Chain A
Amino acid sequence: MSRISEHPILGKKEEGREVEFTFDGQKMKGFENEPIAIALKANGVMIHRYTKKEHKPRGLFCAIGRCTDCVMVVDGKPNIRTCVTPLKEGMVVNTQDGVKAVGM
């Protein structure tokens, strides 16, 4: 488990409500309003997308919405910066392939 249950300086983190979302059709759990990328990380997901030209895997890189490497298809919309987009109940998150969802 990669979540830090208790931190020596920051103590225990106040988490939001636990919500369910799907990643590539698979049900996963995360905390409401945390970035989608963090919920994915907690579930062990590393690959967010494959690039258009070279079809190479990419994941979280800057984590603050600047580099746009972590974009995915969220609720059908491509190029969503998952590191700054809050997770909501029932969200449908898909690995992005080029500019579409994988398999689309």
Chain B
Amino acid sequence: MVMENKADVVIVGAGIIGCAISYYLSKRGKSVIVLEGSDNIGNGGSSRNGGGVRQSGRDPRELPLAMYGIKELWPTLSEELGVNCEYHKEGNLRLGKTPEHLKILQGLTDRAVACGLDVRMIDSDEVKEINPYLSDEVIGASWCPTDGHANPMVTTLAFYKKAREMGVRFITGEKVERLRKVKGRLRKVYTKENEYEGEFVVVAAGYESREILGTIGVDVPMHKELCECLVTEAEPHMFNQMLGTAEADFYGHQADHGSFVFGGMSGLELNNKDCGPVNSPSNAAITAPCICRGIMKYFPALEDAKIVRTWAGYLDICQDGVPVLGFVDEVPGLVVACAFSGHGFGIAPAVGEQLAMLIDEGKTAVDISGLRYGRFKAKI
């Protein structure tokens, strides 16, 4: 049987963004084909990140999406998708140990407050009250009580599972090589063996979006950076907050399973040797030990927690640190959702829902105009 390779929307990339868009489109009655270059759903950043569902520390341009998602979508997501995404909305602590740290945190806090976010600076006593396991050296933190975390691997696969049940056609191992306009509109997507056609084509392929978009003359200024995570054995339950530090030594949380998931970098990433393919980069030998030292500075109680696994993933870092989302005026039919710069997971449901709306209705409920493709200009 030859399947019709046509749908209302063809999505390139089955990460959490592609899966979420496909689910919300399908809810709106659209037919969708999702093409994934690797063999696994959610193989890039979607399954390699630290699971933060944060608003604090966000750029004002993407903050509305983050706030919208946490208010409207995350609380009922597990129920909606029929899979426990392990979502916890129990706050984010960004920790500081020096006056310089507090200065950084104060700056972040001031900007967020200006955007209407409930975030404030707290002193060491209050930090200890929220999380008694932290080092006595912590002198303060920024505290956003409505932030939280979820399980990124499960959430990605939950979107996939639900979308698949609703009839979205997912094809893995189908690497997109070229996009093509037909009669004034981007319609066609070519892989090595096959071609696909849609009224809209969404490119949500992480860093690889750049090469794919290049085939239609669109360039998103981004680079890739290797970030690494580690996970410990299950430990007795300690806390439910998401954690970070002023100096970004590490970030992470304790999962429902009991294990701690922490991410971080060595500081050498920008010029580090290429660690291999986008879908299975190897760890750098020095990074996980560095993350461990970062954690122990704040969490001496975890020094005996045993690490069972480490992994690496590429961030698709945009020139200005926020994603590129939405229509590209010069190429009708094209929708871009990439360059999430390492904070795409938390906003993924909102991005999925809003881009589905954009495709269906031509407009969004949340203002994403600051994230449009055409924003990049020379400095002078």
Identify the A interface with B (CB < 8 A): 52, 77-79, 98-100
Contacts and interface: CB of A to CB of B under 8 A. Distances in A.
Contacts of B236: 78, 99-100
A52 B234 CA distance: 10
Contacts, number: 14
A52 B236 CA distance: 11
Interface string B293-316: 000000000001010000000000
14 contacts: A52-B234, A52-B258, A77-B304, A78-B235, A78-B236, A79-B233, A79-B306, A98-B234, A99-B233, A99-B234, A99-B235, A99-B236, A99-B258, A100-B236
A79 B305 CA distance: 9
A93 B181 CA distance: 70
Interface in B226-265: 233-236, 258
Nearest to B304: A77
A100 B236 CA distance: 7
A77 B303 CA distance: 11
Instruction: Give the top 8 A-B pairs by smallest Cβ distance, nearest first.
Output: A99-B234, A79-B233, A100-B236, A99-B236, A77-B304, A99-B258, A99-B235, A79-B306
Contacts of B306: 79
Contacts of A99: 233-236, 258
A79 B233 CA distance: 8
A103 to B, nearest CB: 13
Contacts of A100: 236
A57 B236 CA distance: 19
Interface in B100-124: none
B198 to A, nearest CB: 44
Contacts of B258: 52, 99
A52 B306 CA distance: 17
Interface of B: 233-236, 258, 304, 306
A72 to B, nearest CB: 13
B171 to A, nearest CB: 35
B94 to A, nearest CB: 28
Nearest to B233: A79
Nearest to A104: B236
Nearest to A99: B234
Nearest to B257: A52
Nearest to B232: A79
A60 to B, nearest CB: 19
Contacts of B304: 77
Contacts of A52: 234, 258
A52 B304 CA distance: 20
A77 B236 CA distance: 11
Contacts of B234: 52, 98-99
B230 to A, nearest CB: 16
Contacts of A77: 304
Nearest to A52: B234
Contacts of B235: 78, 99
Nearest to A80: B306
Contacts of A78: 235-236
A54 B290 CA distance: 36
A59 B234 CA distance: 19
Nearest to A81: B306
Given A52-B258, A79-B233, A98-B234, 10 more contacts: A52-B234, A78-B235, A78-B236, A79-B306, A99-B233, A99-B234, A99-B235, A99-B236, A99-B258, A100-B236
A91 B234 CA distance: 23
Nearest to B259: A99
Nearest to B235: A99
A78 B305 CA distance: 9
A79 B234 CA distance: 9
A100 B235 CA distance: 8
A98 B233 CA distance: 12
A78 B235 CA distance: 8
Nearest to A77: B304
Nearest to A71: B233
A18 to B, nearest CB: 29
B238 to A, nearest CB: 11
A94 to B, nearest CB: 14
A99 B234 CA distance: 7
B300 to A, nearest CB: 15
A79 B258 CA distance: 13
A77 B304 CA distance: 8
A82 to B, nearest CB: 14
A98 B259 CA distance: 13
